[in-house]
């Protein structure tokens, strides 16, 4: 048995049915919370800025691959005797990034994003990965997607990283294939920023 004190009945308003589906619901929620709608000009500037940062990461990644491309490892470094040895992404934490002599496609993106401010690193690298994955899928004719999603789930992005690493490591893959994919992805970011 439950016991409670009842002062008076509480009247609640029936929620308004927001027209326009999800967008209408967000507008109704903003009105209730008295939040100003985002400035479309500012939203567009932010989108273009993010694409420019992703393009910069892709261009630096291209330089890494052009300098030294590897398969079946994320990175290769030169040891003190000048020999190349593979290193995992975690092994690079104990090394100086200047030791990197080559990288796979995914390693090159990670290496290129090291030049981005640490607090902002994930955004440009994530968008670069999404753009590479979208471009690869479109090239292979498996899917045709619009611009990379703003809110790709981390698990989905991890799967995309695995897809790109697998593609990089296919035996018939060449450095030129990887450079071509990066070039098409750079072009994609430019196209998306002017549309």
Give the mean pLDDT of the chain. Answer: 81
Split at pLDDT 50, 70, 90, the class of 23 is confident
Split at pLDDT 50, 70, 90, the class of 153 is confident
% of residues, the chain, pLDDT over 70: 73
User: CB 92: neighbour CB atoms within 10 A?
Assistant: 20
Q: What is the pLDDT of residue 131?
A: 94
Q: What is the pLDDT of residue 150?
A: 55
pLDDT above 50: residue 78: yes
**Concatenated DSSP letters for 41-80?**
HHHHHHHHHHHHHHHHHHHHHHHHHHH-B-SSSSEEEE-T
User: CB 138: neighbour CB atoms within 10 A?
Assistant: 14
Q: What is the pLDDT of residue 35?
A: 64
- Beta-bridged to residue 102, according to DSSP, are 76
What average pLDDT does this structure show over 61-77? 93
Q: Are 123 and 71 in contact (CB under 8 A)?
A: no
What average pLDDT does this structure show over 120-134? 86
C-alpha span between 97 and 110 (Å, rounded): 11
Split at pLDDT 50, 70, 90, the class of 18 is very low
20: left (phi over 0), alpha (psi -120 to 50) or beta: left
Q: What is the pTM of this model?
A: 0.73
Sheet strands (E) in 88-150: 100-103
Q: What is the pLDDT of residue 105?
A: 97
Residue 166 neighbours by CB under 8 Å, 6+ apart? none
Half-sphere exposure in the Cβ direction for 166 (13 Å, CA): 8
Query: Which residue from 113, 106, 152, 153 is spatially nearest to 132, judged by alpha carbons?
Result: 106
pLDDT above 90: residue 91: no
What DSSP character marks residue 103? Answer: E
The mean-pLDDT minimum among 3-7, 69-73, 168-172 falls in 3-7
Q: What is the pLDDT of residue 51?
A: 93
């Amino acid at each position: 048995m439950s016991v409670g004190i009842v002062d008076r009945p509480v009247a609640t308003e029936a929620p308004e049915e927001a027209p326009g589906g999800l967008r209408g619901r967000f507008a109704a929620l903003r009105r209730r919370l008295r939040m100003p709608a985002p400035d479309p000009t500012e939203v567009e500037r932010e989108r273009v800025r993010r694409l420019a940062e992703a393009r910069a990461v892709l261009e630096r990644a291209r330089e890494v691959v052009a300098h030294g491309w590897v398969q079946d490892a994320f990175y290769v470094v030169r040891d003190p005797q000048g020999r190349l040895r593979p290193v995992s992404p975690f092994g690079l934490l104990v090394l100086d990034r200047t030791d990197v002599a080559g990288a796979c496609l995914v390693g090159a993106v990670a290496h290129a994003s090291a030049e981005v401010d640490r607090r902002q690193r994930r955004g440009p690298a994530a968008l670069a990965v999404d753009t590479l994955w979208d471009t690869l899928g479109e090239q292979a004719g498996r899917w045709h997607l619009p611009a990379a999603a703003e809110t790709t789930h981390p698990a989905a992005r991890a799967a995309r990283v695995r897809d790109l690493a697998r593609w990089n490591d296919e035996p018939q893959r060449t450095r030129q294939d990887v450079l071509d994919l990066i070039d098409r992805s750079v072009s994609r970011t430019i196209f998306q920023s002017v549309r």
